[in-house]
Chains A and B, each alone.
Chain A
Amino acid sequence: MFETFYPQLIGLCTGALLLTSALMVWRHSLLASIRLLALQGVALAALVAVIGIAEGESELVLVSLLILSVKGVGLPWVLAHQSKASIKQIQESPRLNPTAALLAVTLLTILSYVVVSRVFGLGDSETGHAAPIGLAMVLIGFLLLISRRRARSQLIGFLLLDNGIATIAFLTSGGVPILLEFAVSLDVLLVVLILHVFAGRMRTKFGGTAVDQLRELHD
């Protein structure tokens, strides 16, 4: 029973991952991006659970719960942790217009399929076929990091990048050892907390969080 659904479930989860990444590029409101990030965390946790059940590894189910709590709930909560009224007003004015950005997303996705099939070969497994999605997410994360002006939007780009790496890890090798998974989650959580504090300090010092203002130090 499960075997027949397995490829479809993998496709569904990775499809959700790619869709949320593309939508993050499209939407300019910070609140929408954070909600998409939460959704993506849930999709990633589901993907890990599906792989875990298929391979009969209880450890992976545990990891999926960890991911659900950190990426699905914890990180979005930290990011959205200011008054709802003020966060709703935050609109990003990115360097790329939406059409160009979505075109770039398409090109990056095609590029990652080409790279993965050329370099590694796609293999026979369902997970191997889906691996390019992870690389596409990493590249889209870079796109967000480069094209966004606000501190918190850049942070979302960083988290997308991290989700992409996790996706690659689970699709190519069924995840890294669980101890490392814990360490990675903790590290990412702390980095986000630190950047969140800095973004807050930036608002009080510079009167805004546009990263463009950071240009006092140069040669």
Chain B
Amino acid sequence: MSFVLWIPLVGPLAVAGLSLLLRGSALRRFVGVAASSAVLVSGLLLVSAVLNGDVPESGGGMLRADALSAYMLTVVGAVGLISTWGGLSSAASSRTKDAAGYEALIALFLAAMSLAVLADSIGLMWAAVEATTIATAFLVGHHRTRRSLEAAWKYVILGSVGVAIALLGIVLIYAASVGTDTPTLSWVLLSQSTRGLDPALITAGGALAVLGFATKSGLAPMHSWLPDAHSQAPAPVSGLMSGVLLSVALYAILRIQSITNLVIGPEFLRTMLSIGGLLSLLVAASLLIRQRDYKRMLAYSSIEHMGLMAIGVAIGPAALPSVLLYILGHGLIKATLFVISGRILKVEGTPVISDVRALLVRRPGLAVPWLIAMAAIVGFPPFSIFFSEVGIIMAGWSVGLGGVVGAALVLLLVIFAAFTRLTVQMTIGAPADGAAFTPDYSTHGPRLPIILALATTASIAFVAEPVGTLLLQATAVLGGTN
């Protein structure tokens, strides 16, 4: 099975090369879809291997897929497929020279995320996370307007500085391991309980690494790049960045946490992540109330959900299955929303909420999926986000973090109200001046990815086997027994 580990790395790279070679061919627009399919298929293969009790390794232990890695790889592939398929460009626009670089960078981006979740060495994981910044820099600045340039500059500067702080943390963790018999950055070796790592170095290293990766996962107070970058990037890129790149950074935090937990106990990072999570919810709530731009609204929603996930990570093993399910549900729904927002932006020509009115009457083809996905993102059942949020809050009560989850619940209610108001403003009502119009039933793009994403999110929480088993196995990997 170990060759499967190479597919999500080599596959996207190969199609990226193909994209640059296929001059002026309309086939080029399928490059992103092909790359994400490769990632998704290998993710599913690895999941089935893991469920059979196997842990595929390759490259001398450099690449490794335990239950958590296999699950994350599947999420990367699934969210990637929804984003790229849903945001498929027209055949005409894919013939331009810009499109070649664009598609190639999307494929590279997917390969970098796959490497981040498959790497056993936390050093290699770091390099892969930094590579995602490199791959997405030109994607954020793709439109070449003043605004997208500003967003890209802030994104690359803050992203790289944040990730540099994480490198400092990883360097200190390595320094701690130099004090033992075998200096290593391998996560498997570092998370063995009997190594006697220096607690002071691990505390400092863990704090810096988590701080750095928290910047990349958009937690407050290091979030300021996120609304700019996610609102200015093309829709499929926003979907990928919001839906899965943030979660990949959270995955890095999970790996670091399992090392520090063994040496210094869970309290230290629990405090850090709880504060970060609550601050993120607060920032999202206060800026969503008066939000005017619907892509920025989606970006702040990502800060909100990452905040709640961080609180889940702070709670520990009791909440981790919910957090992992959350990662999938949020990824799929956020990708869907960004894809639809891209279509709305294209046909309406404005990102301003108050300029888009009565969408349900004028363009039901876009408004209906938008409303359903919005219901999912604010946490209506049967969508899995509801069950994840309930799971995290219950777990918080049970481990004695009632104050934190109570405050989170209040902020969630504020965010719920803000979201409902903004969505109603966009969709419900009659068109201005009673002007004549014909209802537009077109979805302005592929319909199937949106249906697939919504159906998966609506049903996945009810599938105990194999999803539940996989989530429990992934939690066990991180040292939790639940």
Contact = CB atoms under 8 A, between A and B. Distances in A.
B124 A173 contact: no
Interface stretch (A34-42, A105-113, A189-197): A189-197
B161 A198 contact: no
Interface string B254-266: 0000000000000
A195 B140 CA distance: 13
Contacts of A154: 157
Contact of B127 (A168, A180, A198, A206): A180
Contacts of B131: 187
B182 to A, nearest CB: 12
Contact of B204 (A120, A158, A187): A120
- The binding surface of chain B is classed by DSSP as helix
Given A138-B168, A180-B185, A190-B134, A214 B296 contact: no
Given A176-B123, A180-B127, A191-B134, A217 B157 contact: no
A183 B146 contact: no
A198 B152 contact: yes
A180 B124 contact: yes
A53 B178 CA distance: 19
B429 to A, nearest CB: 25
Contacts of B172: 168, 172
Interface string A185-209: 0010011001100100110011000
Interface in B149-187: 149-154, 156-157, 160-161, 164, 167-168, 170-172, 174-175, 178, 183, 185
A165 B124 contact: no
A184 B127 CA distance: 6
Contact of A205 (B123, B149, B156, B175): B149
A198 B154 CA distance: 11
Given A191-B133, A194-B138, A158 B121 contact: no
A187 B137 CA distance: 13
Given A195-B153, A219-B227, A173 B141 contact: no
Given A173-B183, A190-B134, A214 B121 contact: no
A211 interface: yes
Nearest to B150: A214
B201 interface: yes
A162 interface: yes
A162 B174 contact: no
A177 B185 contact: yes
A219 B227 CA distance: 9
B296 A219 contact: yes
A22 interface: no
Nearest to B179: A173
B45 to A, nearest CB: 27
Interface string B65-79: 000000000000000
Nearest to A154: B157
Interface in B235-264: none
Given A198-B141, A216-B146, A217-B228, A179 B168 contact: no
Contacts of B200: 119-121
B150 A161 contact: no
A174 B161 contact: no
Contacts of B41: none
Given A172-B172, A174-B178, A191 B149 contact: no
Contacts of B161: 145, 158, 161
A149 to B, nearest CB: 13
Given A154-B157, A195-B153, A173 B144 contact: no
A176 B201 contact: no
14 contacts: A119-B204, A161-B164, A168-B168, A169-B171, A177-B185, A180-B126, A180-B127, A187-B127, A191-B130, A191-B160, A198-B141, A202-B149, A202-B153, A216-B147
Given A179-B123, A183-B127, 14 more contacts: A121-B200, A158-B157, A165-B171, A168-B171, A173-B174, A173-B178, A190-B134, A191-B156, A194-B156, A195-B157, A201-B141, A205-B149, A217-B150, A217-B154
